[in-house]
Amino acid sequence: MSSLHKSRIADFHDVLKEPTIALEKLRELSFSGIPCEGGLRCLCWKILLNYLPLERASWTSILAKQRELYSQFLREMIIQPGIAKANMGVSREDVTFEDHPLNPSPDSRWNTYFKDNEVLLQIDKDVRRLCPDISFFQRATEYPCLLILDPQNEFETLRKRVEQTTLKSQTVARNRSGVTNMSSPHKNSAPSSLNEYEVLPNGCEAHWEVVERILFIYAKLNPGIAYVQGMNEIVGPLYYTFATDPNSEWKEHAEADTFFCFTNLMAEIRDNFIKSLDDSQCGITYKMEKVYSTLKDKDMELYLKLQEQNIKPQFFAFRWLTLLLSQEFLLPDVIRIWDSLFADDNRFDFLLLVCCAMLILIREQLLEGDFTINMRLLQDYPITDVCQILQKAKELQDSK
């Protein structure tokens, strides 16, 4: 470890040991990258995402309160409905003239159950394939949820719901428009990818199952948006960071902490996932156009080239912005980018500058390329040095 890196770690410790955290100082340090040693990144993210307050003295009580609240969510939205489902049909009273499996009423227990299953199937499909370049999400967690896995609890878990659903022979795809498509599984994954779908034995659960639970609870608590494909790519890096915390006491509660940090983050970016807001000033279309307007201001020649080739920002910037670049780089690089995004008090304005910087850094290739070559460059971004990208974005920010 270099003396410079040791000095940076010491600077973080100096800020974090104060009774009241100096937020601006923490932002300044975090913007240049947060060391992973000693769980510093996990702690800083929780502060920067407004999960932990600036007053250190209140951390213990707030964490205990929030983690108990999450346990209550599990009881109310997974365990109790699971017990009810396990008992449904056991007695004649469960299938009545007023409530039965074909009842379309929004108040019907059966109708709610089937609608939840549709959301759950989409989540399940997405989380099993999370970060395929690493094996982490397929491995067993050291801290499986005891509330869920307690053998004394006889209820239908999310795992059983997926296995037993009548739709399990089909793949359900819900796009961002809210349209549900069904297709034969034979048209999807090749046999070589079937290992992604292996489920661990009873008593164990994989990290992807934890992420599935987080997303399902979020969907239940936020019915207006529920789950939209791509949210799994937002929660994945958060959970990975918290679940690899070297502090075992904090790592044990990675699920609850991830849920609340994800909820806070989604409060800032959820408009990107709501199609009806696309053309509003808070919608994704406005933000994509802002990338191009910024490019026009910073590099007119490149802007005109993309316009000439009719390369619209929707072709690449939609994914860049909506998923916070989580699909453009390897997970460690995504986490480094997020250090800077979370640290900037106008974090998603900075994201627009990062996207603009990505374009400018490959300007020579874009100026020389035709439509096909340029689309390939933008959809499979060639630069892997994220520090170079962040430095360029900071230059653009400072030149305003």
What is the pLDDT at residue 183? 37
Is 114 within the bounds of a domain?
yes
Query: What pLDDT score does 152 carry?
Result: 67
Both tokens assigned to 106: 């929004």
What pLDDT does residue 113 have?
74
Residue 112 burial by Cβ neighbours in a 10 Å radius (0-12, 13-18, 19+): middle
The gap from C-alpha 347 to its chain's centroid, in whole angstroms, comes to 16
- Rounded to 5 degrees, what are φ and ψ at 22? -80, 100
Please state the domain count of the chain.
2
Per-10-residue mean pLDDT of the chain, 400 residues long, equals 90 96 97 93 97 97 97 88 58 45 56 81 92 92 86 71 60 44 36 51 88 96 92 97 93 97 94 77 87 96 97 94 95 96 89 96 97 96 95 90
Residues 70 and 139 in one domain: yes
DSSP 171: E
Look at residue 53 in the predicted model and tell me its pLDDT.
Answer: 97
Please give the helix or strand (H or E) that residue 173 lies within, else none: strand 171-174
Last residue of a domain, one of 255, 270, 285: 270
Please check whether residues 153 and 62 belong to one and the same domain.
Answer: yes
Residues 308 and 383 in one domain: yes
Please say which residue of 270, 286, 321 terminates a domain. 270
Q: Tokens 């630069």 identify what position? A: 383
**Length of the chain as a residue count:** 400
Q: Check whether residue 281 and residue 239 sit in a common domain.
A: no
How many angstroms separate the CA atoms of 273 and 263, rounded?
A: 14
Same domain for 351 and 215, yes or no, is no
Secondary element (H or E) of residue 268? helix 254-269
Residue 110 CA from chain centroid, whole number:
30
Q: Which domain holds residue 153?
A: 38-81+102-160+200-270
Q: What is the pTM of this model?
A: 0.86
Domain boundary among 254, 270, 286: 270
